[in-house]
Structure 1
């Protein structure tokens, strides 16, 4: 019997050879990349939607309590009532700037306030109160004035260690030129420049003209301050004089480069 022919053997060999996989061209690879981008974008959208819902729609991150620090004269309940923080609102939507504005408007004693979200459920109020450097007596009451010249409170009783203003300007060219308001600002500036130890024993700041400010201290001592110019220099000179001559009764720093001390 005759064997297979050459043509038949070639066909059998081709039949035994495994088929090659189809070639995937650049077009197929680009399609896969686009699919990945679509899936990634969809994932990011879902994450963003979930984040928005958690921050705004859920009950997890809502304002539940307000804490206050830094108060001295003011009470925490006063501050928190004036702040009117929207308890129950999403914490992310709380307008911290509006809270700060309300506090400064309703409580003039507040000099500054930091309003900070305290995640996950709180808002903290860090208050800085104005400090009086001078008192103005009016109608049996006392108006507190800070170092910026702001009259921020009227009280019935004078606080300790805050000097009282005595504004008794003479009928001079100084008064006609500057006016009582300018002289008041001059007194405030002097009071704000006083060293802490001097401010604590100052009883009055007497102003008779722009360049004539006199301090009356406890123990009958007086300080001729002069004008409000060179205040920090005068403060340092006065501190040195009082340390060197603790029993002196009169100090003159109106010309800080040539100060003077006397017993009376």
Structure 2
């Protein structure tokens, strides 16, 4: 059989050349050579960043603990009504001159609550760059007990927090008169006292200011003496909010009455003139 002619061999070479040129379009790459990669950070750069981190951290630590810029130099007190700033600062015992960041604010709050029972809550905050701020909320007396010519102040939760020489204004006096009542044996004087305070706490502010004495004769026999010779039968300390609303309505509706009964708030009564 005869082989390909010279023309055929030439045509084949021409087609192969055109096909190879099309397949290898673009710049040629040396055999075995991979694409260039972005150079990785050198060890020197890592060392430089580590040194910078240490220096910044050291400077911050020195500023917070070692310098005189951020130290506690004064104590700011707010929210006082009866206590004085001097009393609060003395009880707080803030370590002046210490780094502000290291002052134990929880310990300061604990010292204040322990030394000054009149304090109900206190927020101890760092006031940068040089102060410790004490935001005080004092307990408010809701009733008082007279004893030995002095007056014991009791807040709305039944805490006895102060003994004073003079009765605070517009605070009712609590009179425990349950010596012969079975309630005294059943509940005890402390529980009966809390019931009386519970009544005082339930009273609207205007009515509480007009209340002179809260008589606690038994658990469910509590009465009030108001200004102007008016009296109120309250009953027990239960349903205090409903009784307070009913009493307020009676006082407005029956202004000429001097005796009110809200022991059953759904069936109140007013009498007298």
TM bin, normalised by shorter chain, reads 0.7 to 0.9
Deviation at 1:41, TM superposition (A): 2.4
Deviation at 1:25, TM superposition (A): 7.7
Alpha carbons 2:181, 2:217 under 8 Å: kept: no
Q: Name the counterpart of 1:138.
A: 147
1:54–1:198 distance in 2 versus 1, CA, 3 Å: same
Q: Name the counterpart of 1:18.
A: none
- Report the TM-score, using the length of structure 1 for normalisation: 0.87
Q: Does 1:38 align with 2:57?
A: no
Structure 2 counterpart SS, 1:153? strand
- Report the TM-score, using the length of structure 2 for normalisation: 0.84
CA–CA distance in 2 between the matches of 1:234 and 1:34?
80
Deviation at 1:42, TM superposition (A): 2.0
Q: Does 1:107 align with 2:105?
A: no
Deviation at 1:123, TM superposition (A): 1.0
Deviation at 1:24, TM superposition (A): 11
Once the two structures are superposed, what CA deviation does each residue of 1:114-134 show, in whole Å capped at 9, x if it has no partner?
A: 111110111111110111111
Structure 1 counterpart SS, 2:157? coil
| RMSD of aligned alpha carbons | 1.8
Q: Does 1:120 align with 2:129?
A: yes
2:73 aligned to 46, 64, 68, which one?
64
Alignment: residue pair count: 240
Alpha carbons 2:202, 2:244 under 8 Å: kept: yes
Structure 1 counterpart SS, 2:39? helix
Q: Name the counterpart of 1:29.
A: 39
Structure 1 counterpart SS, 2:97? coil
Q: Name the counterpart of 1:230.
A: 239
CA–CA distance in 2 between the matches of 1:171 and 1:242?
32
- Taking the TM superposition and a 5 Å limit, the aligned residue runs for 1:79-94 are 79-94=88-103
Deviation at 1:250, TM superposition (A): 1.1
Q: Name the counterpart of 2:24.
A: none
Structure 1 gap segments, 5+ residues each: 1-22
Structure 2 gap segments, 5+ residues each: 1-33
Q: Does 1:211 align with 2:220?
A: yes
